[in-house]
Chain A
Amino acid sequence: AQSVTQLDSQVPVFEEAPVELRCNYSSSVSVYLFWYVQYPNQGLQLLLKYLSGSTLVKGINGFEAEFNKSQTSFHLRKPSVHISDTAEYFCAVSLRFSGGYNKLIFGAGTRLAVHP
Chain B
Amino acid sequence: SAVISQKPSRDICQRGTSLTIQCQVDSQVTMMFWYRQQPGQSLTLIATANQGSEATYESGFVIDKFPISRPNLTFSTLTVSNMSPEDSSIYLCSVDDGEVAGELFFGEGSRLTVL
Q: Does A102 contact B (CB under 8 A)?
A: yes
Q: Which stretch of A43-51, A61-69, A75-83 is in the interface? A: A43-51
User: Dominant SS at the A interface?
Assistant: strand
How many interface contacts (CB-CB < 8 Å) are there between A and B?
Answer: 61
- Per-position 1/0 for B29-60, Cβ under 8 A of A: 01101000000011111001010000000000
Q: Do B101 and A101 have beta carbons less than 8 Å apart?
A: no
Q: Does B25 contact A (CB under 8 A)?
A: no
Q: Do B48 and A103 have beta carbons less than 8 Å apart?
A: yes
Q: Which residues of B contact A108 (CB under 8 A)?
A: 41-42
Q: Which residues of B contact A34 (CB under 8 A)?
A: 102-103
Q: Which residues of B contact A101 (CB under 8 A)?
A: 30-31, 48, 50, 96
Known A-B contacts A43-B92, A108-B42, A109-B42; the reply to A103 vs B101 at CB < 8 A is no
**Which residues of B69-114 have CB atoms within 8 Å of chain A's CB atoms?**
92, 94, 96, 98, 100-109
**Which residues of A34-73 have CB atoms within 8 Å of chain B's CB atoms?**
34, 36, 42-46, 49, 51
Chain A's closest residue to B101 (CB) is A51
Q: Which residues of A contact B (CB under 8 A)?
A: 32, 34, 36, 42-46, 49, 51, 90, 94, 96, 99-109
